[in-house]
Amino acid sequence: MKARHAVLAWLAAAAALLGVFLAYLRPDLATTLANQIWNCF
By the rule CB under 8 A, 10 interacts with other proteins:
no
CB of 4 vs other proteins, minimal distance in Å: 18
CB of 39 vs other proteins, minimal distance in Å: 6
CA–CA separation, 2 vs 38, rounded Å? 48
By the rule CB under 8 A, 1 interacts with other proteins:
no
Opening angle at CA 10, ends 2 and 25, nearest 5: 165
The answer to whether the beta carbons of residues 34 and 41 sit under 8 Å apart is no
Q: Which residues bind other proteins (CB under 8 A)?
A: 16-17, 20-21, 23-26, 28-30, 32-41
